[in-house]
Structure 1
C-alpha cells in the first residue's frame, strides 16, 4: 500500500476539504456569495465522505439498517433546519388557517405585514419539504439507479442484472429492505390525508413520528451483519479494537454532522441568491434549488457507496432518507410551528401547497410500485426522472409566462398527481403478487423482532 493510498491519508484529504469552512466559521470572516458557495460546497463534499465512512465502519457493531438510518438523518439534517426556520417564522408571525384566510393571495405573496409574511413562510415550509421529497426520488432514486448500472462494468456489482431489451438492465435490491418500503408505504398513504385536515397538526405528528420511532425500534432488533464488500477506510477502521472503533465512528458522525448542518444552509442560501440575481422567482428557488443543495450530502454519500459496488447499501440509504423526511420532517415542523406560535396549533397552507403534497405523495406511490418487486430498471428510472423534470420545467414555464397554456400551476399539479396514481395503480395490479410478498417479508421482520419464528422461508433460512 502506497503512502498516498493509506486510509488515514484519505481521511486527511477529506478533512482538508473542510478546513477552510471551519476557519471561516470560527473566525467569523465575511465572504462574497460565490466564495461562500465554493468553500461551503467543498466542506459538504468532504463531510459527505466522512459520513459515508462512519456509517460503513459502524456496520461492524450495529445493525446495518440502523447505521444507514443514522446516516440518512445526519445527511438530511440541513433540510430539517431550513424547513424548521420557515415553520418557526410562520408560528411567530401568528399564521393560522383562520388568520391567513382573511388575507388575499396577493397580500400573502407581498408579505407586507408580519401576519402576511408568516402565512407566506408557512407555504414556503411546505414547498421546501415537498420539493426535497420529490428531488430525492426524481433525481436521487432515478439517478443512482442509472449510475449503478453504468458503474457495474467496472465495479462488477452483483446487484446489477443485465437483461435483454431496450434499457432493461436493472438494479436488484436486498429483500431485507422490505421493512423500509412497507413503512414508507404507510407514510405515503397518510400523506394523502394531510391536506384534508386543513394543515399539519398534532394528529399528523403523533402518527408520523410514532411510525418512525417504531421503525427504529424494529431495526435495532436486527442482527449485526458482516459485509464482504467493505474496503478502504471503513475496512481499516473496522480492524481497530474496542473502544477505539466506536470512538472513531462517533467522531466521524459528529464532525461530519456538524459540518453538514452548518455548511449546507449557507451553500443553499448562496445558490438562492445567485438565482434571484438572475431573475429566478423566490418560490421556485426555495422549492427546488435550496432542497437540491440540502440533498447534496445524501447523494454524494450514496454515490460513494455505489462506486464501491455497495449499491444495496446506497439504495437503503436513499429509501431510509425518504422515510425519515416523509415522517420526522413533516412531524417535527408542526412541533416547531406550535412552539413559535406559543400553543398547540396546525401549520396552515394554501390550496396550491395542498396540491404539492398530493403530487409528492402520488410520486412516492408510483416509486413504491416500481420497487415493489425489489428492482428498478434503467427504463423505470428514466420514467421517474422524466415525469419529475417535465413537471418542474412546465411549472417554471408557467411561472415565467414562457408558455401560453390553458391551465395554471394548480391544474398542472393535479394532472400529474392523477398520472402518477394511474400509473402506480396499474403497476401494483400487475405486481400484486410481489406486493403481497413484500408485506409478507415485512410481517416476518416484525415477528422476528418479537422473538417469534418467521413464516416466509426467505427470512427463515
Structure 2
C-alpha cells in the first residue's frame, strides 16, 4: 500500500504547489497519480464488499472502480464546451476505453485462465498431453442480465454513429438503461460472493471498525488524487503529443484508459489465474455495461455544463471510431451470450483489436466495422436462443425459468481438464 501512496504523492504535491511540469514529465507524473488513485479505489471497493452483499453491490462497486476513467473523459467533454477541439478527445477516450476492455481485457482473462489451469494440472501431476485440455471460460447464469442490457445498449449506441453526435436523447436513453440495469441487478437473487485477493483480502480480514475506517480513508484518498490529477493528466496528454511528435488523439485514446483501467484488469487476471473465471469476466462485463451506458450518457451533459450545446458533436473520424466500437460491442456480446468464452473467440477479439493499428488505408475503420458486424451477427444468429434468453432478463429476473438452455451454473469451478461444475458447457463447446 505504501508503494501506491508513493506512486500518487508526486502528482498531488505538484497540484497543491501549483507547479506545472513540462508536458512529457507531467503526463508521466499525473498518469502515475491516476493509476495510483485507481488502485486505491479498487482496494476500497473490494474491501467494502465485506460489509455488503448481493449483485447490486457488485454493480455499484464496479462503477466505483472505473471512476478514474470517468473523471478524465468528463473533463474532456466539459472542456470541449469552450475548446471545441476537445470534443474529439472526449470521444477518443471513451472509444479507447471500451475497445481496450473488450479487445485486450477479455482476452487476457482467457489467457490467464488457460495458463492457470495448466499450472495447477502440472502441480497435480497431470500428464502433459492432458494439460492442453483446458475448458473454456464460463460465466454464471446471472451474467445474462449484463448481456441483455449490453445488447440493448449496443443498438442505441449505433445512433451517434449514424447522426454524427451524441445527442441528449441518446444520453437520456443510456442513463435510463443504466438505472434500469441497477434496479434489475438489485432484484436478482444473491450469488456466491467473490473472495478478495491481495491487499483487499488483507484489509477484509481486519476487525469490523478498523476495516470500515480503512475503507473510508481509501475512498477519500482515491477521490482526492483523482480530483487533483484528472485535469492536468488530460492536458498533459494533449500537449505531450505535440512535444513527442505523436498523434495527440492516439495518446488520449489509448494511454489514458490504460492507466485508469490497469488495476481492474490486473485483478481480473489474478482471478482468472486462480480459476475464478466467472468472477474475472463478471467484473469486466459489468465495467463494459457501465462504460457503454452511463459513461456515454454523461458526456453530453458535461459538454453542456462546460458551455456547449446539449449534444456532443462528432467529426468524421470520431463517427467512424464510435461505429467501430459499437461493432466490436456486437461481436463481444455474440461470443459471450451463451455464457461460454472459448479460446478461439478470445484470439479473434484480440486479433481484430491489433489489426486496427496496422491497416494503412483510408476507410480501414469502416472495413473493420463491417468485419466485426458480419462476424457478430453470424454468431448471434447461431446463438439466437441464448440472445433471447439474455434479452428476457431486461424485463424479468434472470432465474425466472428453471433452465433456458445454455449457461454454465456457477461457471467458476472446474480443473484444468474441464471437469467439475460447468462441464456441460465445456462439453458442448469443446475446441
Whether 1:318 and 2:270 are equivalent positions in the alignment is no
SS in 1 for 2:341: strand
Residue of structure 2 in register with 1:193 after alignment: 159
Measured in 2, the distance between the counterparts of 1:380 and 1:163 equals 23
Query: RCO (CA 8 Å, sep 6+): is it higher in 1 or 2?
Result: 2
Q: Is the 8 A contact 2:240 2:248 kept in 1?
A: no
Q: Is the 8 A contact 1:59 1:226 kept in 2?
A: no
Residue of structure 1 in register with 2:65 after alignment: 75
Residue of structure 2 in register with 1:402 after alignment: none
Which shifted more, 379-388 or 141-150? 141-150
Residue of structure 2 in register with 1:431 after alignment: 383
Q: Is the 8 A contact 1:60 1:226 kept in 2?
A: no
Match of 1:88 among 78, 85, 95: 78
Match of 2:348 among 359, 383, 397: 383
Q: CA deviation at 1:215?
A: 1.4
Measured in 2, the distance between the counterparts of 1:415 and 1:166 equals 35
Q: CA deviation at 1:200?
A: 1.6
Residue of structure 2 in register with 1:418 after alignment: 370
Note closer, same or farther for the CA distance 1:457–1:187 as it changes in structure 2 (3 Å cut): same
Whether 1:130 and 2:95 are equivalent positions in the alignment is yes
SS in 1 for 2:338: coil
Residue of structure 2 in register with 1:180 after alignment: 146
Q: CA offsets per residue over residues 323-342 of structure 1, 9 Å max, x none?
A: 11111111111111222336
Measured in 2, the distance between the counterparts of 1:362 and 1:46 equals 32
Whether 1:374 and 2:339 are equivalent positions in the alignment is yes
SS in 1 for 2:137: strand
> Runs of 5+ in structure 1 lacking a partner?
1-10, 93-116, 157-161, 398-404, 449-453
Q: Is the 8 A contact 1:268 1:293 kept in 2?
A: no
Note closer, same or farther for the CA distance 1:24–1:144 as it changes in structure 2 (3 Å cut): farther
Measured in 1, the distance between the counterparts of 2:26 and 2:141 equals 42
Aligned CA-pair RMSD:
3.5
Measured in 1, the distance between the counterparts of 2:130 and 2:119 equals 20
Q: CA deviation at 1:236?
A: 4.3
Measured in 1, the distance between the counterparts of 2:217 and 2:271 equals 20
Residue of structure 2 in register with 1:299 after alignment: 265
Q: Is the 8 A contact 2:31 2:233 kept in 1?
A: yes
Q: CA offsets per residue over residues 395-446 of structure 1, 9 Å max, x none?
A: xx4xxxxxxx4xx1xx222211111111011111222233234345565526
Q: What pairs up with 1:225-374 in 2 under 5 angstroms? A: 225=191, 227=193, 229-230=195-196, 233-240=199-206, 242-260=208-226, 262-263=228-229, 266=232, 270=236, 274-341=240-307, 345-374=310-339
Q: CA deviation at 1:249?
A: 2.9
SS in 2 for 1:393: coil
Residue of structure 2 in register with 1:106 after alignment: none
TM-score, normalization by structure 1: 0.75
SS in 1 for 2:52: coil
Which shifted more, 175-184 or 69-78? 69-78
Q: CA offsets per residue over residues 95-117 of structure 1, 9 Å max, x none?
A: xxxxxxxxxxxxxxxxxxxxxx5
Residue of structure 1 in register with 2:173 after alignment: 207
Measured in 2, the distance between the counterparts of 1:309 and 1:50 equals 25
Q: CA offsets per residue over residues 115-143 of structure 1, 9 Å max, x none?
A: xx51x322332222222211221112122
Count of residues in Structure 1 that have an aligned counterpart in Structure 2: 401
TM-score, normalization by structure 2: 0.79
Measured in 2, the distance between the counterparts of 1:456 and 1:37 equals 53
SS in 2 for 1:249: helix
SS in 2 for 1:379: helix
Which structure would you say has the larger Rg?
A: 1
Q: CA deviation at 1:224?
A: 5.1
Measured in 2, the distance between the counterparts of 1:197 and 1:127 equals 17
> Runs of 5+ in structure 2 lacking a partner?
122-127, 411-431
Q: CA offsets per residue over residues 377-409 of structure 1, 9 Å max, x none?
A: 222111101111111332xx4xxxxxxx4xx1x
Q: CA deviation at 1:36?
A: 4.4
Note closer, same or farther for the CA distance 1:280–1:235 as it changes in structure 2 (3 Å cut): closer
Note closer, same or farther for the CA distance 1:358–1:290 as it changes in structure 2 (3 Å cut): same
Measured in 2, the distance between the counterparts of 1:235 and 1:288 equals 30
Whether 1:455 and 2:401 are equivalent positions in the alignment is yes
Measured in 1, the distance between the counterparts of 2:298 and 2:202 equals 37
Q: Is the 8 A contact 1:198 1:349 kept in 2?
A: yes
